[in-house]
Amino acid sequence: MDLTTNPFGPSLSVYEALGDPRRWQEADQTAATQLRQDIARMIGVPPSWLLLGNGIDELLDAVYLSRRERGPVVLFPPSSPAQERRAQIHRVPVIPIQRTSAFALELDVETVSDLPSGSWAIVESPNDPTGSLLDAADAVRLSRATELLIIDERHGAYSGRSLAPLVREFENIVILQTMETWASLSSFPVAYAIGPPALLCRLNTFRAREEITAGGVIAATATVEDLTYMKATLHRVRHGRSRLYRMLRKLNMVSPCPSWANFLPVRIERGTASRIVDGLAERGIRVFQPAQPELRRLLRVSVGRPEETDALKVALIDIALDL
């Protein structure tokens, strides 16, 4: 229960398609263009407002390369440590704006007005590992205060909410989404940027590879063709998240926080995070322990299958007896 991909896995159609030699022969750039049109139709934008990439990391690297000489990036910790690592790799200065104790952004007029010229921002929504959303009002404030706002919605399919409509109103907002998470296509990653065509055209020139891999085209196409099944699994994940939350609330050793992602941030009320993580590992259950000092009493527990939630409950009750 330490992963962020869909616990029900990819569509069975993906396995069938990957095993079909004809699909590999047909997975050319014409098929990639058709995939782009199908995904655009799925999310409700014209194809020209969509840029495909070989995974969300490729798209993020393209953003950093395009902004390397333009100004610092604004990040909002605590969030994924990969954000700061990517900034260091690309030698882009970071302006951190700390989240509140409730993991929300606190963007008052003074904060945004102090941002230097040329600054740009990246916000995860839902945020990892806190599961909190970026609301539209804060997105608008950031858009007006920075040259570019990247909203990383890699976990957004679990929330049922997206800020994608804002790209039609603000020419400096780009939304990133990916099939790596909600469709469990981490082995054949396909992600997409949603934004104004001129901005996406510039980003495309910084992508590491122009073509989408054949495996990615096949897997993503099969997913779109079986979208009804995948939407059903997302419903199951949201139901499982509610069940996991209710179960954890009944235990006095932990306190779950609300989340819009497929994981819950869980505060430790008794014992230590390390002790609980080790105890769960001894019982064959893995959860994620954030490395940030401000999250030392927090665990990220991902939604699993019903039987995994049941096993977690038994394990936590057993561990509680020794605390």
Residues 167 and 257 in one domain: no
Residue 35, amino acid: L
Question: What residue numbers bound the domain in which 193 lies?
Answer: 12-226
* Nearest CA-CA partner of 154 in 126, 121, 118: 126
287 part of a folded domain: yes
Residues 190 and 74 in one domain: yes
HSE toward the beta carbon, residue 89, CA cutoff 13 A: 13
Residues 42 and 102 in one domain: yes
Q: At what angle do helices 214-225 and 227-249 cross, to 10 degrees?
A: 80
Residues 148 and 214 in one domain: yes
Residues 43 and 99 in one domain: yes
Residue 88, amino acid: Q
Residues 217 and 295 in one domain: no
| pLDDT tens digits for range 212-247 | 999 999 999 999 999 999 999 999 999 999 999 999
| pLDDT tens digits for range 58-82 | 999 999 999 988 889 999 999 998 9
2 part of a folded domain: no
pLDDT attached to residue 321: 85
What is the band of 276 on the pLDDT scale with cuts at 50, 70, 90?
very high
Strands ordered across the beta sheet of 191-194: 50-53, 191-194, 173-178, 149-152, 120-124, 73-75, 94-96
In whole angstroms, give the CA distance from residue 191 to residue 100. Answer: 30
Residue 3: strand, helix, or coil: coil
The domain boundary, picked from 169, 197, 226, lies at: 226
pLDDT attached to residue 26: 86
| pLDDT tens digits for range 79-131 | 998 999 999 999 999 999 999 888 888 777 777 778 888 899 999 999 999 99
Share above pLDDT 70 across residues of the chain, in percent, rounded to a whole number: 100
Residues 95 and 183 in one domain: yes
CATH of the domain at 110: 3.40.640.10
CATH of the domain at 315: 3.90.1150.10
What is the rounded average pLDDT of the residues 167-177? 96
**Residue 186 pLDDT exceeds 90:** yes
pLDDT attached to residue 156: 95
Residues 165 and 244 in one domain: no
Task: Name the one residue in this structure whose structure tokens are 């981490």.
Answer: 186
Task: Name the one residue in this structure whose structure tokens are 């907002």.
Answer: 173
| pLDDT tens digits for range 17-30 | 999 999 998 888 89
In whole angstroms, give the CA distance from residue 73 to residue 96. Answer: 8
Average pLDDT score over the chain: 93
As for how many domains the chain has, the answer is 2
